[in-house]
Amino acid sequence: MNECNWEVVEGFSSPREYERFSAWITEQVKSGITEQTPVQDSYAGPGFEEKWFKCIVSNETWRLVSPQAPFKGYWGPV
């Protein structure tokens, strides 16, 4: 866990869980705790939606990769 209380998600259990997580991280951006940053090098590869977010407090950058069957998505440090 980092200073923004983020924990690695190795896979979302359902599309709904991913949607809830996306809404939560969007709220963190709106509140100024987090900022979305441009993806420098996509680790997920072509065809996967990947977004990067920076924790303002710790300056860590994490990436959110959307699920695409059979891949269940990912949230973790860059």
Reported as a single tens digit per residue, the pLDDT across 3-58 is: 888 999 999 999 999 999 999 999 999 999 999 999 998 887 788 899 999 999 99
Do 7 and 24 touch, CB atoms closer than 8 A?
no
pTM of the model: 0.91
Return the amino acid letter for 74.
Y
Q: Which residues contact 72 (CB under 8 A, 6 or more apart)?
A: 10, 11, 12, 13
Question: Into how many domains does the chain fold?
Answer: 1
Domain of 36 in residue numbering reads as: 15-77
What six digits make up the tokens of 28? 């963190």
Tell how strand 50-55 and strand 61-65 pair up: antiparallel
Q: Tell whether 35 is covered by a domain.
A: yes
Q: Tell whether 1 is covered by a domain.
A: no
User: What pLDDT, on a 0 to 100 scale, did the predictor assign at position 1?
Assistant: 66
* Alpha carbons 16 and 24: distance in angstroms, whole number: 12
Do 2 and 60 touch, CB atoms closer than 8 A?
yes
